[in-house]
Amino acid sequence: MLIVGINGSPDREGNTAYLVGEVLKACLELGADTGIIHVMDALEGQERPYCIACGSPCPELCHRNANLAGAYDIIRKADALVIGSPVYFGTVSAQLKAFWDKSRNLRGEKALVGIPGGAVSVAAARFGGQETTVRAIQDIMLIHGMRVVGDASIGTGGGHQGVCAQRPSRDDEFARGRAKVLAEGLVEAVNE
């Protein structure tokens, strides 16, 4: 079982990366193999930082970049994803949006249909747009045909949409606990 984290923050070692890492650490403890993609690395070297819908179906011109193509190859192998973003004006970072906009070919391939996915988000304030950001991530998942997993599991019961933290995420004990629950839910969904 491979569970891949996607850090949608421009900071490879920031609050979002930490929280995605907490989910992956718990997945590892539950027996999964894990990996992480930093969207900043995947988008590095792109001629255009955003999708211009240059053709339909997607001609994959931007995928000639080895960083982006490699990231999508990892995603194709994943049994589940955990996608994280900091809050930028109540939604996902531009980097995460660009990464997913350029994934039109994955959608055409139906590569993620049925794959479980969970969302995490971090903001500066306790009520700083985390839930709307999580919902934006879930919209991306639903458009790809993924199965949305919230921070709930059979062992712990119901939860909410996903893991929401206030920075610094390392100090948000509640969010760290919910990250473990999200990991349980992802592993359970893969094993169904």
From first to last of its 192 residues, the chain has per-residue pLDDT tens of 999 999 999 999 999 999 999 999 999 999 999 999 999 999 998 888 888 788 888 777 777 788 999 999 999 999 999 999 999 999 999 999 999 999 988 999 999 999 999 999 999 998 999 999 999 999 999 999 999 999 989 988 888 899 999 999 999 999 999 999 999 999 999 998
pTM to 2 decimals?
0.94
In the CATH hierarchy, which fold is given to the domain comprising 2-191? Rossmann fold (3.40.50)
Q: Which residue reads 């249909």 in tokens?
A: 113
Both tokens assigned to 9: 């923050």
Q: Cα(128)–Cα(61) distance, rounded to whole angstroms?
A: 36
pLDDT for the residue 161: 92
The widest CA-to-CA distance across the chain, in whole angstroms, is 47
pLDDT for the residue 56: 83
pLDDT for the residue 48: 83
**3-class DSSP assignment, residue 62:** helix
Q: What are phi and psi of 33, to 5 degrees?
A: -85, 150
Q: Cα(174)–Cα(176) distance, rounded to whole angstroms?
A: 5
pLDDT for the residue 57: 81
Both tokens assigned to 110: 């139906």
pLDDT for the residue 62: 78
pLDDT for the residue 46: 86
pLDDT for the residue 100: 96
pLDDT for the residue 187: 97
